[in-house]
Amino acid sequence: MLEIIDCQIQAKTWHITLPGIQVHKGELLVVTGPSGIGKSTLLHWLLGNIPQHVVIKGQIMLSGTDITALAIEQRRVGLLMQDVYLFPHLNVQDNICFALPKNPQLSSKKQRRLAALNMLEQINLGHLASRYPQNLSGGERSRVGLIRALANQPQVMLLDEPFAALDPSTREQMGAWAFQQLALQNIPSVMVSHDIEDIPASAKQLCLADYYQALEQK
Amino acid sequence: MAATIRRIGLTSAWLLVSLISLLPILGIVVGLWPSELVNIADIKPFLAYQGLSVSVFMTLFSAIFSTLISLYIAFMVYSQYHLSRRLQSFEKYLAPLLSLPHLAIALGLVFLFSDGSLFFADSGLPRKGLSTLIIAIVIKEVPFFLLIFSAIGRQLPIKYWLLQGKALGYQDYRCWWFLVFPPLLKQSRLALLAATAYTLSVVDISLLVGPNIPELFAVSVYRWQSSFAAGDQGLAFWSNALLLILLAMSVFILYAHEKFAFAGCKALATQGSRFLIGKINPMFKAWLPMLGLLTAMMVLVFALWSFGLNWHGNWHSDGFALTQLTPKLWQDEWLFFALPLQNSLLIGLLAGLLGVACALLALELQCQKGKYWPDYYWLLAIILPQLSMVLGWQIMHIWYQGGYHSGWIVLSHLPFTFAYAYLVLKGPFQNVEPGYELLAASFGYSAWQSWWQVRFRLLLPAIFTAFAIAFSVSIAQYIPTLMMGAGRVTTITTEAVAIGTGSQQDLIALYVLLQSILPFMAFFVAALLARRFRGSMGGQDVRDY
Amino acid sequence: MTFRLFKSLNSGFVLCFLLLFVVKVNADEELKPVAIVEENSDQWQQTLKAAQGQSVYFYAWGGSKAVNDYLRWATRELAKQYRIKLIHVKVTDPSEPVSRLKAENGRTSAIDLMWVNGENFAYLKQQGFLLGDLWTAIPNAAFLAVDKLPITVDFGEPMHGFEVPWGIGQFNLIAEEAVYPQPQLSAKSLLVIAKKHPKTVTYPRPPEFHGTTFLKQLLVNLSDADPRLYQLASQQAKNELLPVLWQYLDKLHPYLWQQGQAFPSSAAEQLLLYQQQNLSMAVSFNPNQWLKEKSTKQISKSSVRRSFIDGAITNSHNLAIPKSAPSPEAAKVVINFMLSEKAQQEKFTGVWGDPSVINSLFDDKATMPAHPELHSSWHVLIEETWQQRYGG
């Protein structure tokens, strides 16, 4: 379970004070709001990527552990961005291998590749294994991106407008498929989105504009 | 604990990088420090030197003009490799073009094309003149810029920009000028600086094919510095001061050019100009093969010379027989160039590797700080006049009494290999999306691991190119090797330069070819490896959308 | 009768005058060293012993294959005879060791032995960078042909034991026989040839040493070897003698290679152009270079040597040891070897062809008719004025 306690986003001319937020396993929280309000910033803060232009205070609890002070690599938080950032120098299979956690069971390269291939085949994308990211379609890229992120077995999944670059029909398909996968993983997820149509009905919503306060000009 | 190690690591990294970048300044200050009391009065004979103003103007003009011409030619050649479907990669063809030393190209050029030469009894190309100099320089600079462009362009989504532009209705050449040229120009800034500084202070080519009534300024500086007749050292001091001013001026001019070019492109782009400006002739496709042919001819000429062919006169006169070719010279000299060749190789490898490593370090440190220091600071080693700078190092080295082994030579090459590696790597380095490392961190990779497995890996093609250039730069260094090594360590270049001051045609040709072998191998291997390892945007089979 | 008396008195005066002149000139030269160490003396034996196993770093121009090959021969001989390792450090410019010595400023040098002459020697001697008493410390210096050759003064600066002559330079032209049929040249005949064969005549751009010497030869010829050229240049002499040269050059330049708008940067470059048959003549200081180059097929078979009718300006090129050299004993042994009959013979008859400086090998026929060097002030003057008139 993901808990965000006493979160405050402070900029020079405005600040946002959030209530306590809880996202349980298998739940999806969608952060909405007008452009530029800080949705992505909040997400990146959850990841551990401290933003430069605002100050965010608060506490993050993940499964009971305080991860606020931890570095990104220690948090076990996954991220899927709009630009999928599949590593161009690795093929799809190796991209997923890269994300596989260090596991005594998966020590040899061969084992890891096999595991990666399995994951691909589970979602019917095994035929993409030896292709390079530049040769994938937009939808394929998004799917592989999500699978890669999930392959890392994160405790929380963050999604930053993951389907914005896709065309409407693919977006609908991707969205449905993604939430299905997330539900399978049974981890809390936080998603930033512009498009109201993206949001599944079961998701919780957090609109940042509701907590926005402009500071008086001194 | 880990934090302290990190702090110590960072501090020592900054120290290392600062030292390397400060060496040039230190060298110049010590080297130019006048040992005798230099009179302000000495400036009068200096300024009164006949032909000084023409000489200075010619030098500045040739430096800027040849650099810009090479830039635009290289840019238009590069465009052909992006605008046409068939020609995709050309890096491997650059290898031979880049390996021949500058002087050899000048030598071959005048032999083949100037007055009274092999092909022309009376061509328009004077044996010694400003135009000859500029052409000789351009021949070498165009492939150099092409190499830089290919290193930068690999990281840029050029194909997508062109696609976008074409979709908006612009012809491809206009897309090229408005969309691709500005970022490419910006990232080539360092390369431009390096090329201009080189041409401004080059002595050997100026002596061979440059005009000498009046002579180019760098030659005058060199002559005064090498003369110990009364008053010449005073002239040397003031002429060095002027040289520094010229160098600063050329930095300024190049920056101004960049601003104008940008403004020009922007103005034309925002106007939505749809009329014919800068139509790039597909003729530029022929440039590289032409240069290749030219280089091949020169190599052939040098090879024939080294095998004993004495080519008297021109095509029309009688008197050459292929039967007189003999490998005797090669056999005789083998004993004498084997060791220098080996020295060159080892020094080059070390200096090249260290240079690339330090360049990466410098880039990474600045990236973490968030602030990038001005470009010309890192390139000081290439911008400042080499003779005075190395003289300063020599003086410091003598104070230190550290002996004359190869380690010092590697150290003296390091500022140069570092500067060139930096100039090649800066663009690609800044183009690596930070998202990749962010993702790797989210996967649990520590900072170190993600740097190596992601950033380094993505930069690998550029790193190969940078290493090849750094290696070749080290091979080509003459003054540092001579002044720090004091004759204890000979490289192929010290031998070749000494031979080059003589008149033994076959021997000169032999050493020119030897000088070219090592860089050629480096560039060739680097090109192969760069193709094999993909960069951020790179690799084969990039889909066209 | 009075007339004859007057004439004989006159010639007597002239004779006395000349004698005084000669005596004065001799007094300026180095007094013959009285006690040169002998080969089999204890002192020299000690030097030989100390030298064994040492390395000698010899800074010498590396552009001539002939010189390089000769030095390789010398290295082998020295290793065999004296167990000394001679290392030829190939410099491109004779000023490189000078600036190194200047930078070292008295600390232990990297240079053991250097090839030096001219202005560089004067500078080094004045700055006190050179080891003195070489003539007394080296046995074979006794055999130097000081009577027959002008080898005690280097370009106006007396050697005073700070350097030792190694070989002789005599200014000559290497030329195509068909273009230069007469064995001796004058300024006038050169102008005629230049007009007849335009664009094939030229000279290295002053202040390159060969170029300035070419101009000096012309000046000597044009002024009929005016005696004032061998003294410090006075204002009057300048105004009277130099304009002759400039007038001549004004006439000559339009017929030169590149119409006098460009010149070869060095004698070596000019020789390259000559080899490639762009020029009909090249310049040299080695009187036998033409022969050696022909035999190695570097230049055409119809090449000959030509010199000026007044005689070839002659000087010596020399060896010196820095005061702070790390192995001065070995360097002295090397110099001794270089002055030995065997080494001088090999230098002359081998690939190099550089004339010898020692008595036993001195051959009137081997050297060309010599002409003394002008006073060094004229050298500087010619360079400066040339630059003003033609160099800008």
**Structural fold of domain C36-168+317-367:** D-Maltodextrin-Binding Protein; domain 2 (3.40.190)
Q: Which range, A56-65, A177-186, B250-259, has the best average confidence (pLDDT)? A: B250-259
* Residue B318, token pair as written in the block: 């009688």
The per-residue pLDDT for C18 is 42
* Residue B427, token pair as written in the block: 């663009």
Q: Is B248 on the interface with A (CB under 8 A)?
A: no
User: Looking at the domain assignment, is residue B438 inside a domain?
Assistant: yes
The per-residue pLDDT for C5 is 56
Q: How many helices (H) and strands (E) does chain A have?
A: 6, 11
Which residues of chain A are within 8 Å of residue B447 when distances are taken between CB atoms? 73
| One domain, residues B301 and B340 | no
User: Which of B:107-166 have CB within 8 Å of C?
Assistant: 111, 115-116, 126-129
The per-residue pLDDT for B348 is 96
Contact pairs from chain B to chain C, CB under 8 Å: 161
Instruction: For chains C and A, tell me whether 3 or more CB atom pairs sit within 8 A of each other.
Output: no
The per-residue pLDDT for C246 is 94
- Is the pLDDT reported for residue B31 higher than 60? yes
Least confident piece of the model among B80-89, B360-369, C140-149, C244-253: B80-89
| One domain, residues B416 and B505 | yes
Structural domains counted in chain B: 2
Q: Is A98 on the interface with B (CB under 8 A)?
A: yes
CB contact under 8 A, B486 and C110: yes
pLDDT tens digits, residue range B249-283? 999 999 999 999 988 888 877 776 555 555 666 67
Which residues of chain C are within 8 Å of residue B49 when distances are taken between CB atoms? 387, 392
Alpha-carbon span B513 to B509, nearest angstrom? 6
pLDDT tens digits, residue range B490-523? 999 999 998 888 888 888 889 999 999 999 999 8
**Min Cα separation B369/chain A (Å):** 12
When the pLDDT of each residue in chain B is averaged and rounded to a whole number, the result is: 84
Give me the residue from A78, A88, A102 closest to B442, CB to CB: A78
Q: Is B536 on the interface with A (CB under 8 A)?
A: yes
- How many C-beta atoms lie closer than 10 Å to residue C377's C-beta? 16
The per-residue pLDDT for C69 is 92
Contacts of C275 (CB under 8 A, 6+ apart): B310, B312, B503, B505, C298, C299, C300
Give me the residue from B54, B310, B317 closest to C392, CB to CB: B54
The per-residue pLDDT for B273 is 59
The per-residue pLDDT for C17 is 42
The answer to whether the CB of B337 falls within 8 A of the CB of B492 is yes
Residues of chain C with pLDDT > 90, as a percent, come to: 56
The per-residue pLDDT for C192 is 94
When the pLDDT of each residue in chain C is averaged and rounded to a whole number, the result is: 87
Q: Is A69 on the interface with B (CB under 8 A)?
A: no
Best probe of the B interface among A75, A82, A85, by most B CBs < 10 A, is A85
Best probe of the B interface among A46, A47, A73, by most B CBs < 10 A, is A73
User: Which of B:407-446 have CB within 8 Å of A?
Assistant: 433, 435-436, 438-446
pLDDT tens digits, residue range A91-145? 899 999 898 887 777 778 888 888 889 888 888 888 888 888 888 888 888 889 9
What CATH number is given to the structural domain containing B526?
A: 1.10.3720.10
Alpha-carbon span C163 to C317, nearest angstrom? 10
Evaluate whether the domain defined by C170-313+374-390 bears CATH number 3.40.190.10.
yes
Cα nearest neighbour of A131 on chain B: B541
pLDDT band at C218 (very low <50, low <70, confident <90, very high): very high
| One domain, residues B368 and B487 | yes
The per-residue pLDDT for B279 is 63
User: Looking at the domain assignment, is residue B499 inside a domain?
Assistant: yes
The answer to whether the CB of A12 falls within 8 A of the CB of B407 is no
The per-residue pLDDT for A206 is 82
Which residues of chain C are within 8 Å of residue B50 when distances are taken between CB atoms? 387-389, 391-392
The per-residue pLDDT for A217 is 61
pLDDT tens digits, residue range B64-76? 999 999 999 998 8
User: Looking at the domain assignment, is residue B494 inside a domain?
Assistant: yes
pLDDT tens digits, residue range B358-396? 999 999 999 988 888 888 889 889 888 888 899 899 989
Alpha-carbon span A71 to A67, nearest angstrom? 8
Identify the H or E element spanning C45: helix C42-51
pLDDT tens digits, residue range C61-73? 988 889 999 999 9
Alpha-carbon span B158 to A62, nearest angstrom? 43
Reduced to 3 states (helix: H, G, I; strand: E, B; else coil), residue C184 is strand
Identify the H or E element spanning B475: helix B457-475
Q: Is B461 on the interface with A (CB under 8 A)?
A: no
Q: Which residue has the higher pLDDT, B40 or B153?
A: B153
pLDDT tens digits, residue range B535-545? 555 443 343 33
The per-residue pLDDT for B504 is 86
Enumerate the domain spans of chain C: 36-168+317-367, 170-313+374-390
Q: Which residue has the higher pLDDT, C27 or A63?
A: A63
The per-residue pLDDT for C113 is 96
pLDDT tens digits, residue range C238-266? 999 999 999 999 999 999 998 888 999 99
**Min Cα separation B315/chain C (Å):** 12
- Residue B301 belongs to what domain range? 49-310
Residues of chain B with pLDDT > 90, as a percent, come to: 28
User: Looking at the domain assignment, is residue B27 inside a domain?
Assistant: no
Rounded mean pLDDT of B302-310?
Answer: 82
Separation of CA B206 from chain center: 17
Reduced to 3 states (helix: H, G, I; strand: E, B; else coil), residue B83 is helix
Give me the residue from B441, B454, B534 closest to A73, CB to CB: B441
* Fold match between domain C36-168+317-367 and domain C170-313+374-390: yes
User: Looking at the domain assignment, is residue B68 inside a domain?
Assistant: yes
| One domain, residues B348 and B439 | yes
- Is the pLDDT reported for residue C346 higher than 60? yes
- Is the pLDDT reported for residue B315 higher than 50? no
User: Looking at the domain assignment, is residue B7 inside a domain?
Assistant: no
Cα nearest neighbour of B110 on chain C: C273
The per-residue pLDDT for B278 is 57
| One domain, residues B300 and B379 | no
Alpha-carbon span B418 to B416, nearest angstrom? 5
What structural domains does chain A harbor? 2-86+136-214 (3.40.50.300), 89-135 (no CATH)
User: Looking at the domain assignment, is residue B12 inside a domain?
Assistant: no
| One domain, residues B63 and B111 | yes
Neighbours of chain C (3+ CB pairs under 8 A): B
CB contact under 8 A, C103 and B391: yes
**Min Cα separation C32/chain B (Å):** 29
Rounded mean pLDDT of B190-195?
Answer: 90
User: Looking at the domain assignment, is residue B542 inside a domain?
Assistant: no
Give me the residue from B433, B442, B533 closest to A89, CB to CB: B533
pLDDT tens digits, residue range B406-416? 999 999 999 99
| One domain, residues B298 and B440 | no
